[in-house]
Amino acid sequence: MGKFQKIIFIFCLAILAVSLSGCISVKDSSKTPKGYIGVFKSEDNAVTWKLKGSLLNTQGKVIPLVNVSVNRLILDPSDNNTVYLASEQGWYYSNDAGNSWMKSKFFENDNIADIAIDYQDKCTLYITVGANLSKSTDCGRTFTTIYNDSRAIKITDIETDRYAGNQNLVYFANSGGELRKSENFGGTWTLIRGSGNAIKQILLNAEDTRNIYLLIEKAGIAKSIDGGVTWSDTDKKTESINKDGAKLYKNFKNARLMVQDLSASNAFIYVSDYGLLRTIDGAQTWKPINLVTTVGGKNIYSLAVDPTNGNLIYYGTDSTVYKSADGGSTWSTQKAPNVGYVNFLLVDPKNTKNIYLGAKKIPEK
């Protein structure tokens, strides 16, 4: 090869390298560090992370899945290789544990707050867009609207009952403080809790789904032990979770999220502006978990607990992933692999070394 040919060859390689690297590039600025938002995955208990960014379009071409602002990640309860992504730019699904993704043609430009899957029938999906709720019984090939609200509110959470005998039960909450329940797979709905502050989360106790926890904006936790007939914060005969919690822990009522520790009975970890609190008696009493940060829970956006080992806890902030292997006594820190903030963390219950991270863009001020 002559000198001139070598120069041409090297020049072509340089152009190719630039072209390939440009496939997933983002604009850089003094305020935005290099990196991406989207879905990341660790296969070694959050030691290392990889961007899961391969998207198959309708023509079968592989394009990068980046700059997708993640609201939630949901694992199919019957197949841990199937993952759903609810984002501000529509919804996506993966059938190979996040290695490749497809974007649905339904609601493709909508802000999807949540997706729920029937525990007994993986092809039955519930998806929320604004104040509307839709259902698919054919794995997302078609959808039917099963609830429509003309008011200026948003559905914030959907939950399906995990027990085979209760497969017909579906719940959703909204920003108007309402909780609705269906006993016929979403055919009809009953209001079981009236208006108030926005409900941020519904949590059904995996041990007994009649025990329902609600996280309410600026009002803390409400609990029902009878499927939503009565509630701890309105029934005077029931010990008030919020009254006792607020006495001991400042900003207890500023609820952010709560997860269940499936390795123990009636165990939960609650995030409020106070920080992290643990209960082992179904939210009757609480004990604080030590944090590295001094700002309490104000910048904690995500939390996950290993379902087989309650001592293994992860939480995410606007720049860092925190991990504890001893129940929160000590913490290790790692710079988050994303830009934006760590909005969602999810541990694969069938292979707990696998952890998914969903990054979300920081809202413009």
Residue 173: give its domain's CATH number.
Answer: 2.130.10.10
Evaluate if residue 287 carries a pLDDT over 50.
yes
Q: What is the mean pLDDT of residues 280-303?
A: 89
Strand partners, 172: 158, 180
Tokens 């560090």 found at: 33
* Residue 190: domain span: 69-196
Say how many CA atoms lie within 13 Å of 62 toward its Cβ. Answer: 7
Which residue, among 273, 328, 347, 308, has the nearest Cα to 73 in the 3D structure? 347
Q: Any idea which of 5-9, 247-251, 274-278 has the lowest mean pLDDT?
A: 5-9
Give the three-state DSSP class for 296: coil
Evaluate if residue 18 carries a pLDDT over 70.
no
Task: Characterize the bridge pairing of strands 170-174 and 355-360.
Answer: unpaired
Query: 322-332: b or e for each residue (b if 16 or more CB lie within 10 Å)?
Result: bbbeebbeebe
Q: Between vectors from CA 112 to CA 41 and to CA 303, what angle results, nearest 5°?
A: 45
Give 237 or 340, the one with higher predicted confidence.
340
What tokens appear for 330 in the block?
A: 């000590």
Residues with Cβ within 8 Å of residue 357, at least 6 apart in sequence: 39, 40, 41, 42, 49, 302, 316, 321, 336, 337, 338, 342, 344, 345, 346
| pLDDT band, residue 144 (cuts 50/70/90) | very high
Give the three-state DSSP class for 200: strand
319-331 confidence digits (pLDDT tens):
899 999 999 999 9
Q: What is the mean pLDDT of residues 306-313?
A: 97
pLDDT of residue 15: 35
Residues with Cβ within 8 Å of residue 15, at least 6 apart in sequence: none
Phi and psi angles of residue 168, each rounded to the nearest 5 degrees, phi first: -75, -10
Q: Between vectors from CA 172 to CA 266 and to CA 68, what angle results, nearest 5°?
A: 95
The answer to whether position 156 is within a domain reads yes
Sign for the pseudo-dihedral over CA of 82, 85, 89, 90: positive
The answer to whether position 256 is within a domain reads no
Euclidean distance between CA atoms 200 and 156, whole angstroms: 6
pLDDT of residue 240: 63
The answer to whether position 263 is within a domain reads no
pLDDT of residue 288: 93
CB 183 within 8 A of CB 168: yes
Q: Between vectors from CA 328 to CA 326 and to CA 334, what angle results, nearest 5°?
A: 95
Which residue, among 225, 364, 344, has the nearest Cα to 282 in the 3D structure? 225
The answer to whether position 356 is within a domain reads no
Q: What is the mean pLDDT of residues 125-130?
A: 97
Q: How many structural domains are present in the chain?
A: 1
Phi and psi angles of residue 16, each rounded to the nearest 5 degrees, phi first: -60, -45
Q: What is the mean pLDDT of residues 170-175?
A: 98
The answer to whether position 85 is within a domain reads yes
Euclidean distance between CA atoms 13 and 15, whole angstroms: 5
The answer to whether position 160 is within a domain reads yes
CB 115 within 8 A of CB 125: yes
Tokens 């190979």 found at: 96
47-99 confidence digits (pLDDT tens):
999 998 777 666 777 777 888 999 999 999 999 999 999 999 999 999 999 99
The answer to whether position 162 is within a domain reads yes
pLDDT of residue 208: 95
Q: What is the mean pLDDT of residues 100-113?
A: 94
190-223 confidence digits (pLDDT tens):
999 987 899 999 999 999 999 999 999 999 999 9
Strands (E), 164-312: 170-174, 179-182, 190-193, 199-204, 212-216, 220-224, 255-260, 268-272, 275-279, 287-289, 302-305
Evaluate if residue 29 carries a pLDDT over 70.
no
The answer to whether position 81 is within a domain reads yes
pLDDT of residue 295: 74
Instruction: Tell me what the pLDDT averaged over the chain comes to.
Output: 86
Euclidean distance between CA atoms 99 and 296, whole angstroms: 35
Euclidean distance between CA atoms 154 and 129, whole angstroms: 8
| pLDDT band, residue 35 (cuts 50/70/90) | low
